[in-house]
Amino acid sequence: MFKNVLRAGTLGLFLAGASLAGTAARAETITVTHWGSAFYGAPYAVALEKGFFRKRGLDITGFLTSAGGGTSVRNTLAGEVPFGEVALPAAILAIQSGQPIKIISGGVESVEDILWITQPDGKVGSLADLKGKKIAYTAPGSVTNMIILNCLQKAGLEQKDLQLVAAGDLGANLSAVLNRAVDAAMSGEPLWSANQGKVKAAFWAKDCMNPALTQTVGITTTEFARTGGDKLRALIEARREGVAYIKAHPDESADIVAKAYGGDSKTFREVFKHFIGFAYFGDGRLHYDNMNRMLDGMKLVGRLKGPVDWKQVVDTSFLPKDLQATQ
């Protein structure tokens, strides 16, 4: 994802280990952007706790964090075992800048959890109320930037019809609303579930656009794509099993992630009920319609440098056979 949402780039960075076949794997560490605050890393936390990495020969011992975006891509390139789940825009920008990477799997596939909040007595209750108001989002070029621009289009408004404010991260957006510095500001999980009562929903991303949007993708280097296929397949399969477990056991999964993140289990259970109500965590397959919507959003905020030929930047050979079909 994106630098300031929950979303803008997630990363898994693996240090070198022994072969998956034969001797036991050496300890490996995964780096996940916004670990401890956003939920891109949830399938990895579940996969670690339930042994889904270990049974595939990966000795994952813990998680580091990354600031996301370009940082996640650079960390992936530098990794001894270079795999990362990063923001799709970050991957595209890196590829268009000449970085030797391939997109090999899908990640988070929705922005349906993103909304704009206001005071309980706030005057923004729908898109029709935006005119003349001060509306906050995270940062220029971010996912929330593209969403709010879509909202303006849906409402038949232009930027000059209201005041847009780049407020910063999720916490800063919440503070801007609570302090009445803005009329409405973006939010997401877990802050939305944790603060209901203090704020109310003004409008949702799904009110403005199709929320099926690829936020993150798995990437690797072109070199490791030639030499590290077994490890890449193992990682993708372990994450997929983590996603399936979240869907089948949302409360237990929420407790696992709450423990890993140092969060509140009750709040996290509410978050996970929200997430499994729509297709937030993808199973690894690539949804090209969702990816094309992200490209449209990048164009809207001026971040796309040129056309993207998916055949040139994607390698689906590391996905399980049943996930390799074009979606």
Q: Euclidean distance between the first and final Cα of the chain, in Å? A: 21
Taking the C-alpha atoms of residue 130 and residue 142, their distance in angstroms, rounded to an integer, is: 20
**DSSP state letter for 247:** H
Q: Residues 229, 303: one domain? A: yes
- pLDDT, one tens digit per residue, over 81-140 is 677 888 899 899 999 999 999 999 999 999 999 999 999 999 999 999 999 999 999 988
Q: Which CATH number does the domain housing residue 169 bear?
A: 3.40.190.10
**Domain end: 207, 237, 272, which one?**
207
**Per-residue pLDDT, 7:** 38
9 assigned to some structural domain:
no
- The verdict on 266 and 203 lying in the same domain is no
| Domain of residue 94, residue span | 27-110+213-323
Tell me: pLDDT of 229 over 80: yes
Last residue in a domain, options 207, 230, 259: 207
Residues 71 and 126 in one domain: no
Tokens of residue 278, six digits: 């729509």
| pLDDT of amino acid 54 | 94
In a domain, 13, yes or no: no
What pLDDT is attached to residue 59?
83
| Tokens at 161, concatenated | 């019809």
Please choose, from the candidates 196, 185, 181, the residue with its C-alpha nearest in 3D space to the C-alpha of residue 151: 185
CA angle (202 as vertex; 198, 205 as ends), nearest 5: 120
- Is 199 a member of any domain? yes
Domain co-membership, 184 together with 100: no
Mean pLDDT along residues 37-54: 92
How does pLDDT run across 256-277, given as a tens digit for each residue? 999 999 999 999 999 999 899 9
Q: Are residues 37 and 99 in the same domain?
A: yes
179's tokens: 């302090």
Pair 233, 302 in one domain: yes
Same domain, 223 and 318: yes
Tell me how far apart the alpha carbons of residues 116 and 136 are, in angstroms, rounded to a whole number: 8
User: 171 with 240, same domain?
Assistant: no
Rounded to an integer, what distance in angstroms lies between the CA atom of residue 43 and that of residue 191? 20
pLDDT digits (tens, 9 = 90+) for 156-174: 999 999 999 999 888 999 9
**Residue after which a domain boundary falls, among 173, 207, 241:** 207
Q: Is residue 162 part of a domain?
A: yes
In a domain, 20, yes or no: no
